Amino acid sequence: MPPKKQTNALAQRKSAKEQLVQQQRKRRLIWFSTVGVLLVLIIVVLSLDPKPVVKAASFDYENLPMLGQSDAPVKIVEFGDFKCPSCKIANDTIKPQLVSDYIDQGKVAFYFMNLPFLGADSTTAALAVQSVYHQNKDAFWTYFDAIYDNQGDEQTEWATADLLVGLAEEIGLEVDYDLLRSDIENKTYLNEVNEQYGKANDLKITGTPTFYIDGVQYTGSFADYSEFKQAVEDALKN
């Protein structure tokens, strides 16, 4: 090949090589730019830390014992066992302050569901309160508090029919005591107790007391009223 033609061929190859190098640089630049934009977007999304959407549990509020007014903007449901020492602590520390701060103000309605899992007499106590609820709804919470005030040792079977009927008589509860005994011994409201227990199982509740505030499980301390109060305040804002 003549020298001039060789020179032209070399120049063409050099030009083609330079074009290829430039194209590769452009592709790398585009790739790095794309990755950079994606990383920035990921960082922004993570920094927002969106809270997961929690589906609120539903409850048959109309058929549960209620403390307060049914039209209260916030509804709290407690799952409890009358043999549970922690339930007694919550009843002594949380509920009285809820009554004065929110329930008496018409801001909160408080409901109760039985979760009798500690012993056979847990169910006996649940049957007793269901009987009182159906006889005289206004007497329910007086009886509720009286059982916790007279709570026996968790390891002993203390919630007997004799004790529960005797307690109702002692505090002058306005119910038929013979009917109360009959309802306990004949397990009149066992289906209701089992339904409430089943609801707890559906919600995967593992212990008592467990509270739901407007259908969302409260996961804070039940012995710290300030923490519980903040959860109620947050619910009132929604």
Q: Is the pLDDT of residue 39 over 70?
A: no
pTM of the model: 0.78
Is residue 107 a part of any domain in this protein?
A: yes
Q: What band does 133 get if pLDDT is binned at 50, 70 and 90?
A: very high
Q: Are residues 109 and 172 in the same domain?
A: yes
Whether the CB-CB separation of 120 and 193 falls below 8 Å is answered with: no
Query: Helices 177-185 and 161-170: crossing angle, nearest 10°?
Result: 160
Residue 67 sits at φ, ψ, to 5 deg, of: -115, 115
Instruction: Give the model's pLDDT for residue 238.
Output: 87
Q: Are residues 32 and 68 in the same domain?
A: no
Q: How far apart are the first and last CA of the chain?
A: 87
Q: Are residues 113 and 180 in the same domain?
A: yes
Sign of the Cα pseudo-torsion (38, 43, 48, 52, in order) = positive
Q: Are residues 213 and 95 in the same domain?
A: yes
Instruction: Give the model's pLDDT for residue 222.
Output: 84
Tokens matching residue 33: 């730019």
Per DSSP bridges, beta strands 74-80 and 210-213 are: antiparallel
Q: Are residues 35 and 101 in the same domain?
A: no
Q: Are residues 13 and 76 in the same domain?
A: no
Average pLDDT, the chain: 88
User: Which residues are CB-neighbours of 224 under 8 A, at least 6 positions away?
Assistant: none
Q: How many other β-carbons are positioned within 10 Å of the β-carbon of residue 196?
A: 20
Q: Are residues 11 and 97 in the same domain?
A: no
Instruction: Give the model's pLDDT for residue 92.
Output: 96
Tokens matching residue 157: 């079977």
Is residue 223 a part of any domain in this protein?
A: yes
Q: Are residues 31 and 112 in the same domain?
A: no
Count structural domains, the chain. Answer: 2
Residues 157-203 have pLDDT tens digits of 999 999 999 999 999 999 999 999 999 999 999 999 999 999 999 99
Range of the domain at 16: 1-50
Residues 194-232 have pLDDT tens digits of 999 999 999 999 999 999 999 999 999 888 899 999 999
Is the bond into 209 cis (omega within 30 degrees of 0)? yes
Q: Is the pLDDT of residue 114 over 70?
A: yes
Is residue 43 a part of any domain in this protein?
A: yes
150 vs 8, which has greater pLDDT?
150
User: Which residues are CB-neighbours of 188 under 8 A, at least 6 positions away?
Assistant: 127, 130, 131, 182
36 vs 114, which has greater pLDDT?
114
Instruction: Give the model's pLDDT for residue 46.
Output: 53
